[in-house]
Amino acid sequence: MTGILLGGGFGTRLAPITKIVNKHILPVFDRPMIYYPLQTLIDSGVTKIIVICGKPFDKQIKTIIEHFPNKDQIEYSFVTQPDPLGMADAIKRCKQIVRNDNIIVIAGDNIYGKDFKEEVDHFKEGAMSFLRKVSDPQRFGVPVFEDGKLINIEEKPSNPQTNWVVTGPHFFDSNVFKHIKRLKPSARGELEITDLNNLYLKQGLFSLKKRRDYWTDTGTFEALFLASLKIRRMRFK
């Protein structure tokens, strides 16, 4: 399985700092943000990793990865996404390196309290993401159920029907590149991961797994601060 680590984007929620620095190298306690999901991939048994970089600070990501203390445990390469056109667009750019492998896609600003080794070991086909309970579901893709059956994932709904949201990492089989060709840009001009998941769902090949371990998206100042406190407590408990 190939890991795709997303390190692009403009990080607008962390402006004005992100006017001069890539958000993924900002410190979460004593380590750069992107080191946490990278270590999660390694702990999950993924050693072939593609790091997505985005302008204008792609060199910063490449430099920080070169200084990752466990880089000798992985085979890594870099792919540039010139504009932040969505997670599915980032995946599409990795086709030549991934080839016929299955993939696990993880955001560079997400921190997890537990690895995904079991899922990596057993994933065979289709697509899989994770359900987590949050206080602000309108920021995420939200599952829509009918008679207890998952029928759709709604992207950033104004009136979500549940506090359980679809989060990463996202698993896809080798057919993912064929499905991405069918996607059309959303109103935001992006190829959405939600639309990609919905394509698999319509084929009966998408599954969601509930997780209750620690997880955070550190893309805001509040989340960045709270994550640093959490990591410090975990490190010195």
Look at residue 187 in the predicted model and tell me its pLDDT: 87
Look at residue 227 in the predicted model and tell me its pLDDT: 96
The residues spanned by each domain of the chain are 2-235
Residues of the chain where predicted confidence (pLDDT) is lower than 50:
none
How does pLDDT run across 24-40, given as a tens digit for each residue?
999 999 999 999 999 99
Architecture of domain 2-235: Alpha-Beta Complex (3.90)
Look at residue 161 in the predicted model and tell me its pLDDT: 86
Percent of the chain with pLDDT strictly greater than 90: 83
Look at residue 136 in the predicted model and tell me its pLDDT: 87
Look at residue 11 in the predicted model and tell me its pLDDT: 85
Look at residue 148 in the predicted model and tell me its pLDDT: 82
Look at residue 55 in the predicted model and tell me its pLDDT: 86
CA distances from 41 to 57, 94, 135, 138, 186 (A): 23, 17, 26, 27, 29
Look at residue 98 in the predicted model and tell me its pLDDT: 96
